[in-house]
Amino acid sequence: MRLSRYFLPLLKETPSDATVISHQLMLRAGMIRQNSAGIYTWLPLGYKVLKKIEQIVREEQNRAGAIEMLMPTIQSADLWKQSGRYDAYGPEMLRIKDRHDRDMLFGPTNEEMLTDVFSSFVRSYKDLPKMLYHIQWKFRDERRPRFGVMRGREFLMKDAYSFDQTPEEARKSYNRMFVAYLNTFERMGLKAIPVRADTGPIGGDLSHEFVILAESGESAVFAHKDLVQMGAPGLDIDFDSDLQPVVDERTALYSAADDMHDPEVFAALPEDKRVEARGIEVGHIFYFGTKYSEPFDATVMGPDGKPGLVEMGSYGIGVSRLVGGIIEASHDDDGIVWPEAVAPFKVGIVNMRAGDEACDAACSDFYEKAVQAGLDPLYDDTSDRGGVKFSRMDLIGLPWQVIIGPRGLKTGEVEVKARKTGERENLSPDAALAKLAG
Ligand code: P5A
């Protein structure tokens, strides 16, 4: 992409209503624009990151055996009256009337809808287990939308739902998602730790939040240091094997969100093993048994010929929240520092003297080759000053910068800068391309 043809509306001033760094940087870097409180337009740069995060989430859901589908954003209130959550959900639910005066709503989550769909098709235990998911916009009329996309009113969620015949089988589904989540967040360059959590309006009695540690985090987190330092199981893990030991290894170590925190147990840990921090909840998983299968009469015939209610769980990832969360975890004084896996472009090319024939030709050549090599470059071909170009590149945080100017051209070299470390290297254009493609 040539910057002169792109749409990258940067802000010079930090908007005063943005209190956390990720919100400030997303606005300044032209990633989002607020339309109403907690409702955002995803500008091209932000949208690209959102899509990359979404794709990683999708790949890891598929790897764990979940099946993608798509449910609507607008739901009938009848579903929620049937589960009893229509009144219970309160003012967070955006209630809508259609032209026939029927009660509709913009879905804050989809337990009811999928249980209803599922129960109208599935009859036998032979059809289980099943894990279905979609990645769809949700609406929650939050009392205090804030921190940009991290607590929006309209936000993108991946929500998966598991259906099993027995509690034991349901626990296996829970474990699959638990492991898939650890891998998912690690692929994004995040260290997300699973902490015991309260189930709130979703219900059930087994639940974990996945939190990344950050000063701006909304939830208090308490955890054993070894849990915080533990790596993810890895993408080669067999999801058909017994995952309980993998989950046990982590859940045996103390961890809790604020609402599940037990000060006495925590205090019993060795002092140097206690981590008390703030966290951003990027995922939340629930096992709630028959809470929704009961009101929707979602039963399957067992091997003994008797019908039984299906056992369910649901599993959420805040896809749009992650965009802010990753920036909270990865930035410096100059701007965003994207982990490569989610970067909007991999390489930024800076033309130090746009208008100079030799410089333009060298840049165009490098740009074309970078496109060919699949490096997804953003080429700053504008006539702005060098200093402006450098700070813009640093702000938007692409992992690599290639600086091409008249001085280097004399020796046949370009300068390659790593955004994260600031390390610079002079290389021939071909060597630079090889390095970046490697
Ligand atoms: C699990 C999937 C649920 O809704 N039902 C379907 C369950 N869980 S949850 O914890 O309430 O939400 C799942 C994740 O969505 C993100 N999230 C938000 N992101 C941005 N703005 C919001 N207002 C918001 N609310 C929830 C969080 O990452 C949460 O873990």
Q: Tell me the pLDDT tens digit for each residue of 186-202.
A: 999 999 999 999 888 87
Contact 30, 96 (CB under 8 A): no
According to the model, what pLDDT value does residue 312 have? 97
User: Which tens digit of pLDDT belongs to each residue from 297-340?
Assistant: 999 999 999 999 999 999 999 999 999 999 999 999 999 999 99
Contact 278, 219 (CB under 8 A): yes
How crowded is residue 286: how many other Cβ atoms within 10 Å of its Cβ? Answer: 25
Q: Is the peptide bond before 270 cis (omega within 30 degrees of 0)?
A: no
Indicate the helix (H) or strand (E) that contains 32: strand 32-36
Distance 154 CA to ligand 1 centre (A): 11
- The protein residue whose alpha carbon is closest to atom 2 in ligand 1 is 316
Nearest partner of 139 among 97, 105, 107, judged by Cα: 107
According to the model, what pLDDT value does residue 143 have? 95
The upper half-sphere exposure of residue 192, i.e. CA atoms within 13 Å in the direction of its Cβ, equals 29
C-alpha of 48 from chain center: 13
In the chain, pLDDT over 70 holds for what percent of residues?
100
User: Which tens digit of pLDDT belongs to each residue from 77-115?
Assistant: 999 999 999 999 999 999 999 999 999 999 999 999 999
The upper half-sphere exposure of residue 97, i.e. CA atoms within 13 Å in the direction of its Cβ, equals 4
DSSP class of residue 202 equals: G
416 - beta bridge partners?
A: 402, 425
The upper half-sphere exposure of residue 68, i.e. CA atoms within 13 Å in the direction of its Cβ, equals 12
Question: 155: Cβ below 6 Å to ligand 1?
Answer: yes
Token pair, residue 331, equals 């930035």
C-alpha of 346 from chain center: 19
According to the model, what pLDDT value does residue 200 have? 80
Which of ligand 1's atoms lies nearest the C-alpha of 142? 23
Distance 420 CA to ligand 1 centre (A): 30
| Distance between CA atoms of residues 371 and 357, nearest Å | 21
3-state class of 71 per DSSP?
A: coil
Strands in 103-106's sheet, in edge-to-edge order, are 74-76, 103-106, 94-97
| Distance between CA atoms of residues 232 and 234, nearest Å | 5
Token pair, residue 311, equals 């056992």
- The protein residue whose alpha carbon is closest to atom 13 in ligand 1 is 316
Beta strands 347-351 and 400-404, pairing class = parallel
- Prediction pTM value: 0.97
The upper half-sphere exposure of residue 248, i.e. CA atoms within 13 Å in the direction of its Cβ, equals 5
According to the model, what pLDDT value does residue 202 have? 79
Token pair, residue 251, equals 């859940």
Question: 202: Cβ below 6 Å to ligand 1?
Answer: yes
Helix, strand, coil share of the chain (percent; to 5): 35, 30, 35
Question: 314: Cβ below 6 Å to ligand 1?
Answer: yes
| Distance between CA atoms of residues 345 and 330, nearest Å | 16
| Distance between CA atoms of residues 261 and 196, nearest Å | 8
Contact 366, 427 (CB under 8 A): no
pLDDT for 393 beyond 90: yes
Nearest partner of 253 among 225, 279, 280, 231, judged by Cα: 225
In the chain, pLDDT over 90 holds for what percent of residues?
96
Question: 52: Cβ below 6 Å to ligand 1?
Answer: no
**Average pLDDT over the chain, rounded to whole?**
96
Token pair, residue 291, equals 């809470």
Distance 310 CA to ligand 1 centre (A): 23
Region 248-262: what's the mean pLDDT? 94
Res. 46 pLDDT band, cuts 50 70 90: very high
Which of 22, 321, 322, 328, when mutated, tests ligand 1's pocket best, judged by the most ligand atoms within 8 Å of its CB?
321
Contact 179, 237 (CB under 8 A): yes
Indicate the helix (H) or strand (E) that contains 52: helix 44-63
According to the model, what pLDDT value does residue 205 have? 79
